[in-house]
Chain A
Amino acid sequence: DTGVSQNPRHKITKRGQNVTFRCDPISEHNRLYWYRQTLGQGPEFLTYFQNEAQLEKSRLLSDRFSAERPKGSFSTLEIQRTEQGDSAMYLCASSLGGSGQGYTFGSGTRLTVV
Chain B
Amino acid sequence: AQTVTQSQPEMSVQEAETVTLSCTYDTSESDYYLFWYKQPPSRQMILVIRQEAYKQQNATENRFSVNFQKAAKSFSLKISDSQLGDAAMYFCAYPEWGAQKLVFGQGTRLTINP
Residue of B nearest to A110 (CB): B42
Question: A100: which B residues are within 8 A, CB to CB?
Answer: 33, 95, 99
Q: How far is the CB of B34 from chain A (nearest CB, A)?
A: 10
Given A106-B44, A107-B44, CB of A99 within 8 Å of CB of B105: no
Secondary structure at chain A's binding surface: helix, strand, loop or mixed?
mixed
* Total number of residue pairs linking A and B with CB closer than 8 Å: 57
Q: Which of A29-49 contact B (CB under 8 A)?
A: 33, 40-45, 48
Question: A107: which B residues are within 8 A, CB to CB?
Answer: 43-44
Question: B46: which A residues are within 8 A, CB to CB?
Answer: 105
* Bound: A100/B35 CA distance, A: 9
Hey, which bits of chain A sit against chain B, CB under 8 A? Answer: 33, 40-45, 48, 55-56, 91, 98-108
7 pairs across A/B with beta carbons < 8 Å?
A33-B101, A45-B102, A101-B50, A102-B102, A103-B102, A104-B47, A105-B45
7 interchain residue pairs of minimum CB distance: A42-B104, A99-B95, A98-B99, A105-B45, A107-B44, A99-B99, A102-B47
